[in-house]
Copies of this chain bind each other. A is one copy, B any other.
């Protein structure tokens, strides 16, 4: 019984919020790459690391943990002598991969146009201020 009006901001539709939270995940530096590399076949930790390329051990661990927490990825440990851990997409992870790939395709199809537009924009901006 405290807040008169702003308990929930105007257009802050709860749905939009949630969607955005997940997009934040997907948009982080490695998540999409990881999902992509896992679609099709399960992969071992270092195999993933090589495939992704440029990711630090720690970030790969973090990324995979988050995905595991979301139920997107399974983690199976084989207690062999040098321990092996295999990661794979869950059903949910695979179903996510579908709209994800569609969006990826859109980006790939438009990326050169976008980059051209950025270059143009930057050129105009530079001229304006000097």
Most buried by B among A15, A52, A53: A53
- Chain A, interface SS category: helix
C-alpha spacing A122/B104, complex, angstroms: 31
From B51, B68, B69, B104, A11 is in contact (CB under 8 Å) with B51
Copies of this protein, total: 2
Q: Would you call A126 an interface residue if the criterion is a C-beta within 8 Å of the partner chain's C-beta atoms?
A: no
Can you give 11 A-B contacts (C-beta < 8 A)? A11-B37, A11-B51, A12-B53, A19-B104, A19-B107, A24-B28, A24-B29, A26-B27, A69-B121, A71-B114, A92-B110
C-alpha spacing A107/B96, complex, angstroms: 8
Chain B residues contacting A85 (CB-CB under 8 Å) are none
Q: How large is the interface on A (under 10, 10 to 19, 20 to 34, 35 or more residues)?
A: 35 or more
Residue numbers of A with Cβ under 8 A of B are: 9-12, 15-16, 18-20, 22-29, 32-33, 36-37, 50-54, 68-71, 92, 95-96, 98-100, 102-108, 110-111, 113-114, 117-118, 121-122
A115 shortest CB reach to chain B, Å: 8
A116 nearest in chain B by CB position: B71
A7 shortest CB reach to chain B, Å: 12
C-alpha spacing A72/B104, complex, angstroms: 16
Inter-subunit contact B122/A110 (CB<8 Å): no
